[in-house]
Amino acid sequence: MENSSIEVHNLSVSYQNVPVLWDIDFTLPKGQIVGIIGPNGSGKSTLLKAIMGLIPLASGNVKVLNKNLSLVRDQLAYVPQRETVDWNFPASVEDVVLMGRYKKGNLFRRLTKIDKVIAQESIEKVKLEKYKGRQISQLSGGQQQRVFIARALAQGASIYIMDEPFVGVDMSTEKTILDLLIQMKEEGKTIIIVHHDIQTVSNYFDYIVMLNTRLIAHGPTNEVLTEENLQATYGGQLNIISKIQSIIKEKEFPLREKGFEDK
Amino acid sequence: MKDTIIYFFTDSVAFKVLIGITIISATSGIVGTFSFLRKKTLVGDAIAHSLFPGICLGFIFSGTKDPFYLMLGSLITGWLSVWLIDVLTAKSKLSSDTSIAFVSTFFFAIGAVLLSFISGSSNGNQSGLKDFLFGKAATMTNDDINVFVFLSLIIFLVVILFFKYFQLISFNKEFAKSIGIKVNLIEFLLSTITVLTVAIGIQSVGVVLTSALLIAPAATARYWTNNLPKMLFYSALIGVSSGVLGVFISSTKENMPTGPWIVFILFFFILLTLLFSSNKGWFSMVRKQRINRQKMAEENVLKVFYQLAELGVKNVTYSEFLNKRQMDTKELTNTIVSLIKKGFINNDFQLYKLSEKGEVEAARIVRFHRLWELYLTKRLNFKEDHIHGTAETIEHLITPEIEKELLKELKFPTADPHNKNIPY
């Protein structure tokens, strides 16, 4: 598709033989705020990681701006979940945001003045200029989330991929992030957000992907966010699959031996 | 001790040993910082144990104690252990600490067996190998030191060149991957320099204690700074100080091993840090607690004076005070003395009275207390008989900004839930 930001074809991912994503197929538009929604364990974060090329795919492929990921990597900026890092790391807000300026080509060189200016601007955009020099463990959860977003802004990408940026943040952070997203959209950026709070979906997103291990629906929010699709995503028969997945996980069922499926 | 120090700076052999130990401990401090930040503190220990068979193998194959062969052997088994730990953790159900414990003891056992072979053989050159267990800096030869200096320089260079890579994968691996960094390759590099560092560290502190030289300086340095380059520098500094002091002390007596002394000193540094470090240390905590306690006592006394004044008692005696609120007499005396010094209370022989300044301050505390009680009942739906206890604490914490917000939120109330006047 001409105007697509991301295309996903027949994508499947499994963790230790348990399928987490099955045959996902969709195309996302450019310049919109896209929500990927689904219940816990529906494979949302996995889908992001698959798009970013962070995990191996069982099948399928991903195109970013109609190209292979490796050719357009610097057009993607990733905001991981806040809890995935240890915030006790010896770094200030500025140090972390400057990491957004690290590129494959400049890692052996010193950062330039321009890098510092861009980092400063990014920090201002998320309203953390007062905390610029502060050790990152001394920030609130919402402020830490904003540090991650500022780091992504500093990357200067055209597509932003965020994993649950609204989890555990205070009201003022939520508002700051939302205002920022709208501003970014006006600048023509594409923003893809994993989100699990169904109440806020229609306020936040122009376009949604509804996911529960399988793709349930995707399209403009007002068309796709129907009772029927919600039922299919959050309730319904697919729930049985997620239950089985969680049983496998909880009881630590022995993994199947290799080659077993072929017999 | 003084003689020892003079000896080390005048005798050229001893001086070289000193240089050697300085370089070894600085390298350990720097490389260990990354192990510490990546939460791989136990891996250093595993590597150290796994180098032991490598050293023995190097000796068996070359027949000499040439540091090149010993290094080569230890590099191979050290690497093998890192690889084995990763594989076991990823592919088996063993958790990472189990894998580490298993691999390190297994390799050490192999080393012990090999050493018994060497000791049994007729090769007369093996005596020094036992020093690898606890370390003996004084046995370092000229060749050893040259090799260490060379390797350390390479390690320094790698850390400087790859600083951003190491920083990135230590903090946020997923992000590093997302910008296209080959994380596996960088981890391989980091593991390699860790193995090399441990291999040269063994010379000074020995197999059993090397992980202390790797981890303790970093753990100590973390208390003193929130900045990674500074942390690397402090860590190196702490490593060098303990290394050098350890060598001095251990050389005062013949046949005293270096390693244990270095570890003692490292431990001493950690102890000092836990007690004295500026923010997280024990002393600063005790000081903060004392300050808080005094502040609370002073504010409580002022509050009681205010309440007594509300009842018409303006000139207060000790017994009137203690009737209103129980307090240790000695603490009360100390607090009143301090309040008199600050000009909040005036005294006329045994009668005490709030000064003008004291009245303002006392009104402020009573106001906070009553505002908070009102807030709890109005906004958080607390029952009126449940609010006094928390207000007793919160009144000491409310800042002017919070006061402003409370006043706005409660629309400048005049009476608290118990119908007492809120003073402004």
Q: Does B157 touch chain A (CB under 8 A)?
A: no
Q: Does B165 touch chain A (CB under 8 A)?
A: yes
Closest listed residue to residue A77, CA positions, set A22, A118, A43: A118
B177, B181, B225 ranked by CB distance to A90: nearest? B225
Q: How far away is chain B from the Cα of A134, in angstroms, using its nearest Cα?
A: 9
| Gap between the Cα atoms of A241 and A103, Å rounded | 41
Which domains does chain B possess? 16-280 (1.10.3470.10), 285-424 (1.10.10.10)
Neighbours of A12 (CB within 10 A): 15
B171, B172, B181 ranked by CB distance to A104: nearest? B181
Q: Is A78 in contact with B181 (Cβ distance < 8 A)?
A: no
Q: How far away is chain A from the Cα of B231, in angstroms, using its nearest Cα?
A: 8
Res A109: pLDDT = 80
Size of interface A-B (CB pairs under 8 A): 70
pLDDT at A263 over 50: no
Contacts of A107 in chain B (CB under 8 A): 162, 164-165, 181
Res A239: pLDDT = 55
pLDDT digits (tens, 9 = 90+) for A45-73: 899 999 999 999 988 999 999 999 888 99
Residues of A near B (Cβ–Cβ under 8 Å) read 49, 52-54, 70, 73-74, 76, 78, 80, 84-86, 89-92, 95-96, 99, 102-104, 107-108, 135, 151, 155
Contacts of B189 in chain A (CB under 8 A): none
| Gap between the Cα atoms of B314 and B354, Å rounded | 8
Which domains does chain A possess? 4-262 (3.40.50.300)
B37, B161, B174 ranked by CB distance to A84: nearest? B174
Res B110: pLDDT = 93
Q: Is A78 in contact with B175 (Cβ distance < 8 A)?
A: yes
ipTM greater than 0.90: no
Contacts of B162 in chain A (CB under 8 A): 107
Angle between helices B12-37 and B210-224 (to 10 degrees): 70
Structure tokens at A61: 């492929």
Closest listed residue to residue A118, CA positions, set A152, A157, A90, A154: A154
3-state secondary structure of A62: strand
pLDDT digits (tens, 9 = 90+) for A8-27: 999 999 887 788 898 899 99
Q: How far is CA B254 from the centre of its chain?
A: 34
Give me the phi and psi of B387, to 5 degrees please. -100, -20
Res A257: pLDDT = 47
DSSP string, B223-278: HH-S-HHHHHHHHHHHHHHHHHHHHHHHTTSTT--HHHHHHHHHHHHHHHHHHH-T
Tokens 């950026």, residue? A189
Closest listed residue to residue B204, CA positions, set B151, B149, B263: B263
Q: Does B180 touch chain A (CB under 8 A)?
A: yes
Neighbours of A80 (CB within 10 A): 25
Taking chain B (424 residues) in runs of 10, the rounded mean pLDDT of each run is 73 80 92 94 88 89 82 90 90 88 92 83 56 72 85 93 94 93 92 90 79 92 93 96 89 80 92 83 85 89 88 83 84 88 85 86 88 84 79 81 82 80 82
Residue A262's pLDDT band (cuts 50, 70, 90): very low
Average pLDDT score over residue span A150-156: 95
Alpha helices for chain A (secondary structure H): 44-51, 93-99, 113-125, 141-154, 171-186, 201-204, 221-224, 227-234, 238-250
pLDDT digits (tens, 9 = 90+) for A212-251: 888 999 999 989 888 888 888 887 555 566 666 666 666 6
A73, A74, A107 ranked by CB distance to B164: nearest? A107
B162, B167, B174 ranked by CB distance to A80: nearest? B174
Res B18: pLDDT = 86
Q: Is B227 in contact with A92 (Cβ distance < 8 A)?
A: yes
Q: Is B170 in contact with A78 (Cβ distance < 8 A)?
A: no
The pTM of this model reads: 0.80
Contacts of A103 in chain B (CB under 8 A): 179
Amino acid letter, residue A45? S
Res A185: pLDDT = 93
A52, A92, A104 ranked by CB distance to B226: nearest? A92
pLDDT digits (tens, 9 = 90+) for B284-300: 888 888 888 888 889 88
N residues, chain A: 263
pLDDT at A196 over 50: yes
Structure tokens at B24: 């070894």
